[in-house]
Amino acid sequence: MPDSGYRVTRYGHSLQTATRAFRDGEDDETVVAALLHDIGDTLAPDNHSQLAAAVLRPYVSEKTHWVVLHHGIFQGYYYFHHIGQDRNERERFRGHPHFDACARFCERWDQTAFDPNYDTMPIEAFEPALRRVLSREPFRQV
């Protein structure tokens, strides 16, 4: 049953986001980030991006960490104007080396992953990628 007025559950949204990234031929790290990008949504709705990024940080590149960390603001492009916020808030990051990657993440996978009729892959399909990414030697943080 969907929650929070969405047409899919948070779990379904996460699976669908990862499925879309996988079908676009993205690497394991990006697919895992797509799968886990909203893991903090229920616990910390106002800063879920930061929570998810903190969990993933030891296992993903600086670029992927940045994308997950900022995806909430970039996703706002699609709905902030409906709730009285500035949809162009992401523009303050224009020029950052990962701006385009984050915009693409939201446009291609996150924003579109609310379709209850989408042929979503099951969680088991992502287990090998999860194991490969989350069993890595942690990246050394600077």
The structural domains of the chain, ordered by start, are 10-134 (1.10.3210.10)
**Residue 142 banded pLDDT, cuts 50, 70, 90:** low
Write down the mean pLDDT value for the chain: 92
pTM over 0.75? The answer is: yes
User: Using an 8 Å Cβ cutoff, are 137 and 45 in contact?
Assistant: no
The pLDDT tens digits for 91-134 are 999 999 999 999 999 999 999 999 999 999 999 999 999 999 99
> In the block, which residue shows the tokens 């523009």?
91
Give the whole-angstrom CA distance, residue 12 versus residue 19: 10
User: In which residue are the tokens 């799968």 written?
Assistant: 35
Helix locations, the chain, DSSP H: 10-23, 28-36, 48-56, 62-75, 99-104, 127-134
